């Protein structure tokens, strides 16, 4: 599924300068789809261009805010376009589909919250807004690349939206640059991922934090559900960035050694800040 610039070569580490592509953009749980794809390529003057149309469905295990879930994408339709001229290339993709995600505990929480709709009208709307059941998902991507062989600069941007669901709107991008000095390729990358949970917070904000029905057990149950909803909505916010400095050494054609150092920064929770050192070897035959 041609979601990204490196989708066709994600499993071939030799094809790119990092050990793995930037997680902010490429950190999804699937790269394949069951369906059909039609590719068309041609030339126009000095430009080479290609169009890919994809349709199908996919199922995979994923996590939403650290919680395991079964993800199902149906009626997926994607259209991508790529054009190249000498040292410059650009590509873009737009995809839409129906998104469903299920987790027994979370589904139970949503069902319990919805039952309070008869007492607290906004609770039903919040339950429906939190569920991920055949909601319309939209994915957009655009990438630019300048490769003068001795040096290169690239960037990629993605935006993901799943309407009326607990999944917050997500934006991510990276900018990378490097030099080719004989067999050595030093490079640096800056990446950012952000998720806006305003819609989720708005659903919770429409509900009262407590109710007084005269039944202590009912009131306590609602209060617990409200606190859970507020906590789930809060965890959908994301604002992280990372800087990666790396070096690739091409031992011989088809064999490369790599070392990357990544400094992660979480602007919401500083305890998640970390430094990661990785060393890898890529061999193709």
Ranking 35-49, 59-73, 189-203 by mean pLDDT, the lowest is 59-73
Q: pLDDT at position 65, please?
A: 62
pLDDT of residue 157: 98
| Rounded mean pLDDT, 126-147 | 95
Taking 90 as the threshold, does the pLDDT of residue 15 lie above it? yes
17 vs 167 pLDDT, higher one: 17
**What's 238's DSSP letter?**
E
Report d(CA 225, CA 276) in Å as an integer: 38
* 192-205 per-position pLDDT tens digit: 999 999 999 999 99
* pLDDT tens sequence across 69-127: 899 999 999 999 999 999 999 999 999 999 998 888 888 999 999 999 888 989 999 99
How far is the CA of 45 from the CAs of 8, 20, 50, 145, 148, in angstroms?
A: 26, 35, 14, 20, 20
């Amino acid at each position: 599924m041609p979601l990204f610039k490196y989708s066709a070569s994600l499993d071939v580490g030799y094809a790119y300068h990092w050990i793995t592509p930037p997680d902010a953009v490429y950190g999804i749980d699937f790269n394949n789809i069951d369906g059909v794809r039609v590719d068309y390529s041609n030339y126009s003057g000095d430009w080479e261009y290609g169009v890919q149309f994809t349709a199908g469905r996919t199922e995979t295990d994923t996590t939403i805010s650290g919680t395991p879930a079964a993800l199902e994408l149906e009626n997926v339709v994607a259209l991508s376009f790529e054009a190249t001229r000498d040292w410059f290339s650009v590509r873009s993709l737009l995809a839409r589909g129906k998104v469903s995600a299920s987790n027994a505990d979370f589904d139970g929480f949503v069902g319990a919250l919805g039952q309070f709709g008869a007492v607290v009208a906004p609770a039903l709307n919040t339950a429906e807004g939190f569920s991920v059941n055949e909601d319309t998902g939209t994915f957009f991507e655009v990438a630019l690349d300048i490769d003068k062989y001795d040096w290169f600069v690239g960037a990629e941007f993605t935006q993901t939206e799943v309407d009326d669901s607990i999944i917050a709107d997500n934006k991510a991008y990276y900018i990378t640059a490097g030099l080719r000095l004989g067999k050595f390729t030093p490079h640096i990358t800056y990446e950012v991922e952000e998720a806006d949970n305003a819609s989720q917070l708005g659903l919770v904000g429409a509900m009262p934090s407590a109710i007084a029905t005269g039944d202590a057990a009912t009131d306590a149950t609602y209060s617990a559900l409200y606190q859970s909803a507020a906590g789930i909505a809060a965890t959908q916010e994301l604002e992280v960035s990372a800087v990666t400095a790396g070096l690739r050494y091409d031992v011989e054609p088809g064999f490369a050694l790599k070392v990357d150092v990544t400094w992660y920064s979480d602007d919401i929770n500083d305890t998640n800040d970390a430094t990661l050192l990785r060393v890898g070897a890529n061999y193709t035959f």
